[in-house]
Every structure is written in structure tokens, then in C-alpha cells.
């Protein structure tokens, strides 16, 4: 399977649906009083267009992701009691599955217990409550499915990066992963943002393998790569067949790095803005000030700008193909990416990813 998150920033008509099994709309949001925010007028139009797209591509599934990095402040309260969980599950299923006839729900709570946006309500009980919330959603979806003689998907977006708001982070702080895996159809494992503005130094956004040259503390370095994260999830009870590996269609960088090692693993002055791959191709790779490098150990590219002392980490067609081969070799469920609309005009990343997953030689 190959799923793409869709945030509405590109016309539905331009979505390359023929290469996708799932489109995950981002985002619906949890609201106050234990309900989901209803779709606004813009979302309602987008939902109708997405349903038409699905009709033109038999087998394509549509899910709605609820939450997101900035859309999770109510989750801790929503998940707190049996009453609030039941009310929330009913509301979300009615608003985003029954009425628009989508194929399921994805929960993106960033993050239970700690590590998310500073100021969001967070409780130690969140780790148990997120499992209970997912179980309540599973019951609500199954009830509608029994009436309609079909199965509705329930998925969850979960983190891997060891540097989150507040510093060092472990996904098991937030989730009982084995329990979550028993409830959901699959986990959208966010194997990106592994190094970011919370990191102590510049590093790769989504390194395939651990790099021995990385000087960060051993515990964080051990698990802060794509292959490492899959090992971690399986060690914590998540079957390979429920892991969907995340791919970034954007890059992250750091300004004010040292020229040593072309900016890699350096203290930095400030983060460089998140940048879509389309802009990397059209702006960075056409500018000789940006020099491309490849890490054989991390199996990832990076750019260094000596004039501005900027390190920039991104994925390209080569690294996407490597990750797709890893999905197949480890018998994972599939891949997903954030986000539709950030690829270049030729859909180079998506083509590399889908071709490698299907062994296609198409260019």
C-alpha cells in the first residue's frame, strides 16, 4: 500500500491517484465539549471532490486524519473519561465517516503525555487514555460497519524522532504500542523529523541508517533512524504487517553551522524553514552555492551552503528507492508520505517510491 496525506494545498484534480491506495485528508480537529469540529465549507467541497476521485479509481480509500501537530490541544481532555471518549467517537464517526462516506479515521495526537506543542494539556494518564480512545473509535466504526456490511479503517500516526519539544523523547512514553497495534488496522509511523529545531545539533531529517559519526547521546542515536525505528516498534510488539513507513516530501535545515563536515553534526544558530521538495529542486539544486553531499552510512543526501553556513537535509529519488526496498525486505504493510503537493512538477519522489514498491521500471 502507498498512502499520501493531503492537506488541501493542491487541487484535488492534480492528485496522482493512480499511484496511491489511500488518501488521508489532513485535518479534521477535535473540538470542545468532546466532539469533532464539523467540516467547514471548504472541506465539504474538498470531500465531494475526493469522493469523485475515488469513484474514478476503484480500490482507492479515503480517510480523515483528526489532529495534527497544531490541532491536538483538546485530545487529553477528550480521552479522559468513558463518557468523553464515547461522545467523541460518535461525533467523529458521524461527521467524517457516515455523512461524507469516507473509509476510515486516522488519529494524529502529537503527543500523549509530553513532547507536543508547549501549552497543550498533557497528563501522565494520556498513555492509557489514547489506547482507550482508539478502542472506543474501533467500536464506533465497527457498529457502523456492521450496519453497512463493510469494514472501516482505523489508523494512528505515531512518532519516532528522539528530539521533540522539551528535549529527549521516547515513543513508549506516549503509547503502549503493542496495545495500540491490536486495535488499529495499521500505524502511520512518522519516520521523519528525527532531527529538528529541538535537536542539539544539525542532523538528517530521515536517515535510513544510524551514522557512527553522529555525536549525539548513544540512546538517541541508537534509535533515531528509519531502520532503527522499525526495530524499535517491532521490539515493542508492533507486527511488521501493521507498520506503514513514513516518507518526507520536504526537508529541514540549520543556519549558522560549522563548515567542518559540510555542516553535518554542528551546533547551529537557528533552524532553516521546512522546505518542500519542489522548492529544493527549483531553487536549491539550481544554485551552485548549494553543494550536494551523500552519506553512505545514513544513506541520505544533504546540501551545504558555505556562504550562509546552512546545512539542509532532504530525501531524493535515490533515498526514496532505498526506503521502498526496505519496506519490501522487512515485509512492512507499506509506505505513506507527508504531504501531497510538495513533490516536484514531475512527481519524482512519488514515482521513485511507487516504482520501487511495485518493481516497476517506469520513469
Beta-bridge partners for 275: 251
Q: CA-based Rg of the chain, rounded to a whole angstrom? A: 20
Half-sphere exposure of 110 (CA within 13 A, CB side): 24
What is the C-alpha separation between 256 and 252, in angstroms, rounded? 14
Nearest 5°: CA angle at 46, between 45 and 48? Answer: 65
**Which residue has 506543542 as its cell numbers?**
117
Q: Using omega within 30 degrees of 0 as the cis cutoff, is the peptide bond preceding 339 cis?
A: yes
* Number of continuous H segments (helices) and E segments (strands) in the chain: 11, 15
User: Of 191, 170, 185, 178, nearest to 107 (Cα)?
Assistant: 185
At a CB cut-off of 8 Å and minimum separation 6, what does 201 contact? 215, 216, 254, 265, 266, 267, 268
What is the C-alpha separation between 222 and 212, in angstroms, rounded? 9
Q: Is 110 a catalytic residue?
A: yes
Beta-bridge partners for 189: 158, 245
Alpha-helix residue ranges (DSSP H) falling in the chain:
41-56, 75-78, 82-93, 126-148, 171-174, 177-183, 218-223, 226-235, 277-279, 317-329, 348-358
Question: DSSP labels for 328-343?
Answer: HHTT-SEEEEE-TT-S
Q: Are strands 270-276 and 250-255 parallel, antiparallel or unpaired?
A: antiparallel
What is the C-alpha separation between 166 and 265, in angstroms, rounded? 20
What is the C-alpha separation between 333 and 242, in angstroms, rounded? 6
Which one of 9, 29, 110, 342 is the catalytic residue?
110
Catalytic residue set: 110
Amino acid at each position: 500500500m502507498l498512502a499520501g496525506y493531503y492537506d488541501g494545498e493542491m487541487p484535488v484534480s492534480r492528485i496522482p491517484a493512480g499511484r496511491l491506495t489511500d488518501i488521508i485528508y489532513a485535518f479534521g480537529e477535535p473540538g470542545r465539549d468532546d466532539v469533532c469540529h464539523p467540516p467547514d465549507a471548504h472541506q465539504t467541497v474538498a470531500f465531494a471532490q475526493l469522493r469523485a476521485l475515488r469513484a474514478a479509481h476503484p480500490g482507492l480509500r479515503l480517510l480523515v486524519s483528526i489532529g495534527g501537530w497544531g490541532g491536538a490541544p483538546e485530545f487529553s481532555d477528550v480521552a479522559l473519561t468513558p463518557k468523553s471518549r464515547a461522545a467523541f467517537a460518535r461525533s467523529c464517526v458521524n461527521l467524517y465517516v457516515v455523512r461524507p462516506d469516507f473509509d476510515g479515521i486516522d488519529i494524529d495526537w502529537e503527543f500523549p503525555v509530553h513532547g507536543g506543542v508547549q501549552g497543550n494539556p498533557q497528563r501522565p494518564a494520556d498513555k492509557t487514555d489514547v489506547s482507550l480512545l482508539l478502542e472506543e473509535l474501533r467500536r464506533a466504526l465497527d457498529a457502523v460497519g456492521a450496519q453497512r456490511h463493510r469494514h472501516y479503517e482505523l489508523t494512528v500516526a505515531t512518532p519516532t524522532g528522539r528530539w521533540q519539544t522539551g528535549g529527549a523523547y521516547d515513543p513508549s512514553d506516549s503509547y503502549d504500542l503493542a496495545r495500540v497495534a491490536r486495535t488499529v488496522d495499521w500505524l502511520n509511523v512518522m519516520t521523519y523529523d528525527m532531527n529538528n529545531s529541538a535537536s542539539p545539533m544539525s542532523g538528517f531529517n530521515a536517515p535510513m541508517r544510524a551514522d557512527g559519526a553522529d555525536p549525539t547521546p548513544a540512546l538517541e542515536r541508537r534509535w533515531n533512524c528509519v531502520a532503527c525505528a522499525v526495530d524499535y516498534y517491532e521490539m515493542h510488539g508492533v507486527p511488521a504487517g501493521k507498520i506503514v513507513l513514513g516518507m518526507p516530501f520536504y526537508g529541514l535545515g540549520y543556519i549558522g553551522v560549522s563548515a567542518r563536515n559540510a555542516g553535518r553534526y554542528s551546533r547551529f544558530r537557528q533552524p532553516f524553514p521546512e522546505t518542500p521538495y519542489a522548492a529544493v529542486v527549483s531553487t536549491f539544486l539550481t544554485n551552485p552555492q548549494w553543494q550536494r553531499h551523500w552519506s553512505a552510512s545514513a544513506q541520505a543526501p544533504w546540501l551545504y551552503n558555505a556562504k550562509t553556513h546552512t546545512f539542509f537535509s532532504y530525501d531524493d529519488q535515490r533515498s526514496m528507492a532505498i526506503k521502498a526496498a526496505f519496506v519490501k525486505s522487512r515485509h512492512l504493510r507499506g509506505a505513506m508520505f507527508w504531504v501531497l503537493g510538495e513533490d516536484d512538477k514531475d512527481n519524482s519522489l512519488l514515482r521513485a517510491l511507487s516504482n520501487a514498491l511495485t518493481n516497476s521500471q517506469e520513469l
